[in-house]
Amino acid sequence: MRILVVGAGATGGYFGGRLAQRGRDVTFLVRERRAEHLARYGLSITSPAGDFVLSTPKTVTADRLVGAYDLVLLSCKAYDLAGAVDAFAPAVGEHTSILPLLNGMRHLDVLDAHFGSARVLGGLCLIAATLDADGRIVHLNDTHALTFGERAGGTSPRVASIAAQMKDATFVARASEAIVQDMWEKWMFLATLAASTCLMRAALGDILAVPGGERVIRGIFAECQEIAAHNGHRPRGAFLTHAESTLTTAGSTLTASMLRDIERGGSIEADQIVGDLLARRSARAATPGVMPLLETAYAALKAYETRAMRD
């Protein structure tokens, strides 16, 4: 199976690098500067699961991309999606499967419109990773999981084939028969984490330690659940138990990557993670004269973006 990984940043570089470590046919679609860096230094991963350096990773730039790939692994940020679509389009053939790992749901509409829904799988990943100052991938904890499946549910030969490619990779790979539900549940959790920690500019444990802090977190989570249920994706019991435990752990240092992006003055996925969720709520969800917590958090995120554009 020929696999094209769009980007070689923290997420794509990690999962693509681990697949290449197991001898899979992986090519990274990267910009010229990243290609030069990888050619000189290789692709380096530092991780609790084991360090690894791929000394000669296969790379290609958009202007030299030719021929169809069997699988396109898409892990860009949502605000980079339009450019990424144009870049990897030449790699999409009649039998190409596209596996996006972006957050939320808006990206599915974009990919369906460009390539047809039959080519686009559902997918998500769970990992905390970053690039250090030297361009090395640093995996920050023990979590590194990738889940994928047919959006219509059930299984298929192509999902089985992808699962076989990932079977012995260092990360946890899982083929799901309910991937859209999985994606909605991750979205609920991530939106709660991002809205809470960005609104309060603090880690979960810091929020929980102050009067009313837990009410803010639980209130945002409840609003996210209501929106999911309105869209036919009421959260399952096991997810709720795990999510509530994680969100209310005293002393937790967990923050959303969106907060880290804000702290470094970077771009954020406010519209895709929080704004699009609000756009899918019931018209009856809002109480007249009362601004919901999730909407308040979204306003704060958009204010950050407005100031960043001005500065």
Active site residue 302: no
Among candidate residues 119, 149, 177, the one where a domain is terminated: 177
Residues 77, 167, 186, 302: which is the catalytic one? 186
What mean pLDDT do residues 158-163 have? Answer: 98
Check: CB of residue 86 under 8 Å from CB of residue 74. no
Q: 173 and 219 in one domain?
A: no
| Mean pLDDT, all residues of the chain | 95
The per-residue pLDDT for 23 is 96
Q: What is the pLDDT of residue 82?
A: 93
Q: Any idea what the Cα angle at residue 299 is, between residues 297 and 301, rounded to 5°?
A: 70
Q: What is the per-residue pLDDT across 190-246, written as a single tens digit (0 to 9) for each?
A: 999 999 999 999 999 999 999 999 999 999 999 999 999 999 999 999 999 999 999
Question: Which residues touch 6 (CB under 8 Å, ≥6 apart)?
Answer: 12, 29, 72, 73, 74, 75, 76, 84, 87, 88
| pLDDT tens profile 11-35 | 999 999 999 999 999 999 999 999 9
Of 137, 155, 177, the residue at which a domain comes to its end is: 177
At 257-285, the pLDDT tens digits run 999 999 999 999 999 999 999 999 987 66
Which is more confident, 310 or 87? 87
Whether residues 67 and 211 fall in one domain: no
Q: Do residues 82 and 186 share a domain?
A: no
Is there a single domain that holds both residue 137 and residue 209? no
Which residue segment(s) compose the domain that 172 sits in?
2-177
